[in-house]
Amino acid sequence: MKKLFKNYSLLLITLLITSCGGDDSVVIGEENNDSSSYTLSGTYSDSKTLSADNIWTLKGRVTFTSGTTLTIPAGTIIKAQGGTGTNASTLIIARGAKIDAQGTASNPIVMTSVADDIEVGQKFGTNLNENNRGLWGGLLILGYAPCSFENDVTQVQIEGIPVTDTNGLYGGDDATDNSGIVKYISIRHGGALIGDGNEINGLTLGGVGSGTVIENIEVVGNVDDGIEFFGGTVDASNLLVWGQGDDGLDIDQAYSGTIDNAMVIAGNVSDHGLEIDGPEGAAEGSFILKNVTLIGSEVAADGEYADYRSNAMGASENIFAYGFQSGKDVELDNDGVATNFNSGKLNFASWEIIAPAGVTVADIFQNKAETVTVSNFGDFATLVTTGTVGANAADFAWTYAKEKGAY
């Protein structure tokens, strides 16, 4: 049961005003009953700068609205409370707002659960692992970049946010929209249940534009997808997902940016390493997915390589995969995506796979379209004993996954 604080409870507000380039910024901390912990809650209509010398508590659905900027310094730790449904602790950067979260390899930003025993100045806790999932929600960044929606509408509500909250809208016509900078951030133990069979992704990017910087992101132990791109044009690089409950990287609604240098490490309940969908409306967009390493699981019942579905359009190249069970595949899921493969709208190049004994390229690359036949699906793939393509693993030396020996 939650404590009820009386009106005379002390609320300590610390204001630190600094000047940079002629602009004033304000650091505001609302102290809760733990003197070393500061709280983020509710909806913010003013910009806010956190401090790395305190652990911040994320309480419920927290939203930064249009015109605001949330600044998170390197080394900051945010611990989220739990909750389910609309009460799940989630950080939302709404359209028109910005996030300035610039961690470093030696001093990353960590978003995790209040159950995590990580302390100020640390990069890793000791009491949780990749199998501790669903302890809070996740990070959602929403923008005005183009997406392809059913019925050719220009904006929709992001999954997980009540339709009554218009801060959950994403999509528009500004391909260069800027939602800020996110670098060297580790998002751990999220994916809280928001409805029957519906959970929050570790990082959700909805209609995020090319003016946004997304680099060096890690998602560990999320119930749903690790990172999902709902349309938009943002480029993203150096992405690592470990132990997700659903898909590692998920592309939807005509996402048309470039994902470069990514690693997906399946856990004991993971589904696809990649799940790639295409446009839902008339508007088309093509992704580029390159330099990716997919590491399978020996125990995950649904641990597939990749699923290309619903009119997917784009290019997947320099992909290295290993550790998957026999019977797992890369599939063309339906007629629409098979048609796009035949027409050249969906392309593959330079896949290398270390396969289980007796498994062939033809066993792995499967056309499961209803009526459309394809030829040469898999001709771009080679069975190897050592990979020469894929992600540059050295770029992930800073991660929790590396610290715990996940690869």
Q: 404: pLDDT confidence band, cut at 50, 70 and 90? A: very high
Asked whether residue 11 carries a pLDDT value surpassing 80, the answer given is: no
321-345: pLDDT as tens digits: 999 999 999 999 999 999 999 999 9
What's the pTM? 0.91
152-178: pLDDT as tens digits: 999 999 987 888 899 999 999 999 999
Percent of the chain with pLDDT over 90: 86
Percent of the chain with pLDDT over 70: 90
**In terms of C-beta density within 10 A (0-12 exposed, 13-18 middle, 19 or more buried), how is residue 80 classed?**
buried
What residue spans define the domains of the chain? 40-403
Q: 1: pLDDT confidence band, cut at 50, 70 and 90? A: very low
The DSSP secondary-structure symbol of 359 reads -
The rounded distance, in Å, linking the Cα atoms of 135 and 295 is 25
The rounded distance, in Å, linking the Cα atoms of 61 and 198 is 16
Secondary structure of residue 151 in the 3-state scheme = helix
Q: Which residues contact 139 (CB under 8 A, 6 or more apart)?
A: 90, 91, 93, 111, 185, 187, 202, 203, 204
In the numeric block, the tokens 């044009």 are attached to 233
Asked whether residue 184 carries a pLDDT value surpassing 90, the answer given is: yes
Asked whether residue 24 carries a pLDDT value surpassing 80, the answer given is: no
Note the pLDDT of residue 87: 80
Q: 35: pLDDT confidence band, cut at 50, 70 and 90? A: very low
278-324: pLDDT as tens digits: 999 999 999 999 999 999 999 999 999 999 999 999 999 999 999 99
Q: 195: pLDDT confidence band, cut at 50, 70 and 90? A: low
DSSP state letters, 171-216: --S-TT---EEEEEEEEES---EEETTEE--SEEEES--TTSEEEE
Q: How far is CA 297 from the centre of its chain?
A: 20
Asked whether residue 354 carries a pLDDT value surpassing 90, the answer given is: yes
86-142: pLDDT as tens digits: 789 999 999 999 999 999 999 999 999 999 999 999 999 999 999 999 999 999 999
Distance (Å) of CA 273 to CA 107, 287, 303, 373: 28, 16, 8, 25
What is the total residue count of the chain? 407
Give the tokens for residue 104: 């470093």
**Residue 243: which region, alpha, beta or left (left: phi > 0; alpha: psi -120 to 50)?**
left
Q: What does the mean pLDDT of the chain come to?
A: 91
Asked whether residue 260 carries a pLDDT value surpassing 80, the answer given is: yes
